[in-house]
Amino acid sequence: MNVYLFDNLKKQFARVGAELRFEIDDTLSSAFEVDVVLEKGCELFEFRISEQALNHLELTVLDIKERSKHLVLLARLADENGEILNKEHFLLGYDERHLFVASIDPASTVDGARQSLKPPEISLRESGVNKEKRHRRRTKLFKRQGEWFFLPVDIEPDPLLVLRKEPLVRSAGGKPHIADLAYRYGGVAVRVCSRYPWGLTLEQYAAHIKNQPSLATKFDWQDRRRNAAVFVKGKIRHPDHGTLTLSSWHRVLMNRERGSERVVFLD
């Protein structure tokens, strides 16, 4: 990549109201990474590129939607002979008030990228939804807040099984979305802490405590369910998003960002 390409990318990102910067980082285990960082109170995209990959990485904006402030980026890494070794697609832009980046399945348009993030329970039912309205955060079929989709369901759970102020967490260390009311079933009972953010099953926890009794008091353990079916009602709150109000029970569904098959849902 050269200075001209850097400047051209900056101009394209500016069309969706986003700034970006590039850093050479030889500590990376991959060719490059992109993330949202905060600098002097403002969010921007930071591309960290290994020096070894600098002359073999091509970043191309495939599509821009200025109205929704989204763009699709293709990253291609080549070898010394120019043969493509790897391709990655990303959807970047604004979701409500904040920047985001999502690794997606191959898509050449913003609409295609947004569609690829929808769980099948949503996309398979959209035949009756106007195409221009399918990517809104609220449609007649679903509501969305960040990476979570909420699909209305006709259930009335036992009040004794309803939890209050329940966190919805996609990945370890992420900011939780807090649901006023939640009901869950299935999944695996786990205990989580800072050392084991993905959780230990009760059997694994017992074995660890038996071998290292100090672990029981050294960490703040919490009981969670891994990959349970979760239903919520009431207000859904998150510091990066406007509060969502659900007047009836909705099933919680995770988006299909690439890599999510390796992500567990902790509730």
**Dihedral through CA 163, CA 243, CA 141, CA 114, nearest 10?**
-120
Tell me if 121 is assigned to some domain.
Answer: no
Which of 95, 116, 137 is at the close of a domain?
116
Q: What is the mean pLDDT of each run of 10 residues along the chain (267 residues)?
A: 75 95 85 89 91 86 96 91 87 93 94 93 81 83 94 95 90 81 89 84 90 87 84 95 96 83 45
| Spatial CA neighbour of 233 closest among 151, 113, 138 | 151
Tell me if 122 is assigned to some domain.
Answer: no
The predicted structure's pLDDT at residue 1: 58
Helix then strand count (H, E) for the chain reads 5, 16
The predicted structure's pLDDT at residue 15: 97
Domain identity same for 133 and 257: yes
| Helices of type H across 78-196 | 110-116, 120-123
Q: Are 90 and 36 in contact (CB under 8 A)?
A: no
The predicted structure's pLDDT at residue 187: 82
Domain identity same for 69 and 159: no
Residue 165, both tokens: 């102020």
The predicted structure's pLDDT at residue 78: 87
| Spatial CA neighbour of 122 closest among 146, 108, 140 | 140
Domain identity same for 258 and 199: yes
Helix (H) or strand (E) holding 216: helix 215-218
Domain identity same for 57 and 103: yes
Domain identity same for 141 and 100: no
The predicted structure's pLDDT at residue 175: 83
User: How many residues are listed for the chain in this entry?
Assistant: 267
Which of 116, 145, 170 is at the close of a domain?
116
Helix (H) or strand (E) holding 241: strand 241-254
Q: Are 118 and 149 in contact (CB under 8 A)?
A: yes
Domain identity same for 159 and 94: no
Q: Which residue has the tokens 């979570």?
A: 148
Q: Which residue has the tokens 């690829």?
A: 116
Helix (H) or strand (E) holding 190: strand 188-192
The predicted structure's pLDDT at residue 111: 93
**CA dist., res. 234 & res. 145, Å (int):** 14
Residue 146, both tokens: 């960040």
pTM over 0.85: no
Give residue 28's domain range.
3-116
Helix (H) or strand (E) holding 43: strand 42-49
